[in-house]
Amino acid sequence: MIEKRTVKLCLKGNRKAQKLLYNSYAEKMFVHCYRYVKQKEDAEEIVSEGFIKVFLNLSNVEYRDAPSFEGWIKRIMINECLMFLRKKERLVFNELEMNTVETAFKVEGILEAEDIYSLVVALPIGYRTVFNLFAIEGFSHKEIAQQLGIKESTSRSQLAKSRRMLKILMAKTNI
């Protein structure tokens, strides 16, 4: 956990404090980013860009406690993911036939975190993005709509479709 003292040292340009801050959150933020982009290299790039923004905007945040500070960093990373998806992946929200998704999952009776991750990553980009923002990050449909520049009804629709597709994928893989 990062303390207020570490953040103050970062603001003064202390490289050891900056490295400590980065090392404390980089892996966790990588996991968040990887859920959105599917490519390790892309997630690494987003984390790097995100931490540049963290350090540039550190003076704009009031450190209250470690969890709220981590939430602030996570919000920056999510925004970086969304910007990346808009630029590189051409974030689109459209209909997709369920049988076009090919996946390879572990076929076991118990649904484990890796299985869930594999299922979510198999979703089309629009479904995956809305699902991550709603089900994992806890955003409301109104917030998702604002973040993505879509209607709330589109967010709801994409979530419903992603859930239907997840059920189909679970059935196909006997999970």
Question: What is the reported pTM?
Answer: 0.68
Residues, the chain: 175
> Could you give the residue range(s) of every CATH 1.10.1740.10 domain in the chain?
4-89
CATH topology of domain 4-89: Rna Polymerase Sigma Factor; Chain: A (1.10.1740)
| C-alpha dihedral, 19 to 20 to 23 to 28, nearest 10° | -130
Residue ranges of the chain that CATH labels 1.10.10.10: 98-172
What number of other Cβ atoms are within 10 A of residue 43's Cβ?
Answer: 22
135-155-119 Cα angle (round to 5): 45
Determine the pLDDT at residue 93.
58
Helix, strand, coil shares of the chain, percent, nearest 5, are 75, 0, 25
Taking a C-beta distance cutoff of 8 angstroms, is the pair 158, 126 a contact? yes
The domain 98-172 is classified under which CATH number: 1.10.3210.10, 3.50.50.60, 1.10.10.10, 1.10.443.10?
A: 1.10.10.10
What pLDDT does 136 receive?
83
Q: Whole-angstrom Cα distance, residue 118 to residue 123? A: 9
DSSP state for residue 138 in the 8-state scheme: -
Residues in the chain with pLDDT values less than 70:
1, 89-114, 174-175
Q: Is 132 helix (H, G, I), strand (E, B) or coil?
A: helix
SS3 (DSSP) at 108: coil
Q: What is the pLDDT of residue 90?
A: 60
Backbone angles phi, psi at 59, to 5 degrees: -75, -15
The pLDDT of residue 54: 95
Q: Give me the half-sphere count of Cα atoms (radius 13 Å) on the Cβ side of residue 147.
A: 25
pLDDT of residue 47: 96
Q: What residues have CB less than 8 Å from 11, skipping those under 6 apart? A: 58, 59
